[in-house]
Amino acid sequence: MGDDSSIGDAVQAMLGTSPCSVTLPAGAGKTELIAAAAADVATRGGTSLVLTHTHAGVDALRRRMKKFGIANDAVSVRTIDSWSYDLIAHFPVLAGLAVPATPNWSRVADYHRAAARTVGTGAVERMLKVSYTNLFVDEYQDCLTDQHELVLALAAVLPTAVLGDPLQGLFNFGRNQPVDWYSDVHPYFPAVDVDHRPRRWDPDHQDLGAWLVTIRDQLLNGLPIDLTSTPVQWIQRSDPRTYIGVCYAALRLEGTIAVLGRFRPDCVNAAGALGGSYSVMEAIDEKVPMALATKIDTKGGPEVAAATVEFAVGCTSGIPSHISAAKRRQLREGGSFTTRNPALRPAYEAVVQVRDTPTPATVGTALRLLSKLPGVTIHCRDAWNEVRRSAAMAVTDGCTVTEALELTRGHTRVAGRRPSGRVVSRPLLVKGLEYDHVIILNPANYSAQELYVALTRGSKSVTVISDTMVLPAVRMATRPAMPRQSHKG
């Protein structure tokens, strides 16, 4: 959007042509446009339902709604998943699906389909029309086909606008079937063009914003990106630890910082090497905490004790200097586990207590004391806090740790997480967020979408650490082909 007055024009263009779709580059004011549209609806006495995909996206949208002064009862911002679950929970007969008190997110596609069936019933259609005036769906390029079917059902009831950017679609992995912007979206949500500019980089870094617009065609067409004479700072990757000095130096900068790897092990290793000065941003369904929760609930003492210590080692820096690999192996095999150092003895004794009595309470105590060992810092704080809270809930509520973890995650999906100012993360998890400074560790193997998302997260500076100044040509990741169905006669 070219200026503040044109936001109003964009809002009217979008509201006046629903159903419609709006394609905007990263940082071009998509969140601002959604909030401005919701504010316009509110001034006319209406209520907006805003759906997105991640808890981080919910946080960002809610903050922008507050900026516009929108009353809480004039807008509801939810993830598609949590909204679907709640709808089914209220109308299980109409949905044709009874859901448990704690969502089973492995069945989330079933939740979407059941929610779509529910929306298509007369009773729920009337309820939706009374409850909401407009529907806005953010990050629509990330909708899977079952989510798309739900939005189509909603669009038959409510004036609907979907917003996104195919160059930011990152769910093209595994068996996911994301929408194709041109064959799936445009036929049902015709494109509306609105004026825009790279707002994220106003007013002091417009050269960076302008450059990020120019590289879109290169990425869409699989061309290399030359970082020579660009606003991006390039640092040659001379060895695997080049990033350490760069990341420590960045701590002197004002503002928020995101260090981006590609996979979780990249992030955990980097955060560990940086001594806890950066925290790992976890996926809401990260497997590591769930694996420990399952062991606490089902395994014997030696395995639970060993898993507790290994979890602590993976989430922190400093524990291996106090508990060697040999001692951890002895623990795992049921052998002795002792120390002569009085400063370490409380943690050792707590771990032995887990071995002898593997309960949520003893695990919680062991984790607390392990974190207090000299020189220990926690860098996987999201995972750490999830396990600590879930173990405590299991004690007070008399449930399993797995059940408590599911409840904890369900709350996070609704309420979101408090953002951290120094994170190590992945393009998939920071998409939709912005930071003052971004450091990209090694983008050589990124897809075009991952590279674009990574490059567009920083509003003040972007630093790329790579082997060469010319980033090799990368392809657009596309959705995997559906497996062929075998039909027997």
Say if CB 316 and CB 378 are below 8 A apart: yes
Q: How much is the pLDDT for 395? A: 97
User: What is the three-class DSSP state of 380?
Assistant: coil
Domains 1-195 and 206-281+420-471 are alike in CATH topology: yes
Distance CA 292, CA 310 (A): 10
Query: Rounded to an integer, what distance in angstroms lies between the CA atom of residue 162 and that of residue 88?
Result: 23
- Looking at this protein, which amino acid is placed at residue 487? H
> pTM to 2 decimals?
0.84
For 131-200, strand residue ranges (E) read 134-137, 160-164
- Rounded to 10°, the helix 287-298/381-397 angle is 30
Residue 191: DSSP 8-state: B
Domain-wise residue ranges, the chain? 1-195, 206-281+420-471, 287-415
Q: Does domain 206-281+420-471 have CATH number 3.40.50.2300?
A: no
For 257, the enclosing helix (H) or strand (E) is strand 257-260
Contact criterion met (CB below 8 Å) for 288 and 383: yes
Length of the chain (residues)? 489
For position 4, what pLDDT does the model report? 58
Q: 């590591």: which residue's tokens?
A: 288
Q: In the 8-state DSSP scheme, what is residue 36? A: H
- pLDDT given at position 475: 77
pLDDT at residue 285 in the model: 82
The SS3 call for residue 144 is: strand
pLDDT, averaged per 10 consecutive residues of the chain (489 residues), comes to: 70 95 94 96 98 84 95 96 95 95 88 97 97 97 94 98 93 77 95 91 95 94 94 95 97 97 94 95 90 97 96 96 94 90 96 97 98 96 96 96 90 72 93 92 90 96 96 75 45
Please state, as a whole number, how many other Cβ atoms lie within 10 Å of the Cβ of residue 53.
22
Please measure the distance between the N-terminal and C-terminal CA atoms of the chain and give it in whole angstroms. Answer: 58
| Alpha-carbon span 477 to 238, nearest angstrom | 29
- Find, among 298, 293, 301, the residue nearest to 353 by Cα: 301
Architecture of domain 1-195: 3-Layer(aba) Sandwich (3.40)
Strand-pairing partners, residue 466, are 236
Q: Which residues touch 11 (CB under 8 Å, ≥6 apart)?
A: 33, 36, 37, 40
d(CA 217, CA 227): 15
Beta bridge partners of 3: none
Q: What is the pLDDT of residue 411?
A: 78
Q: In whole angstroms, give the CA distance from residue 288 to residue 286.
A: 6
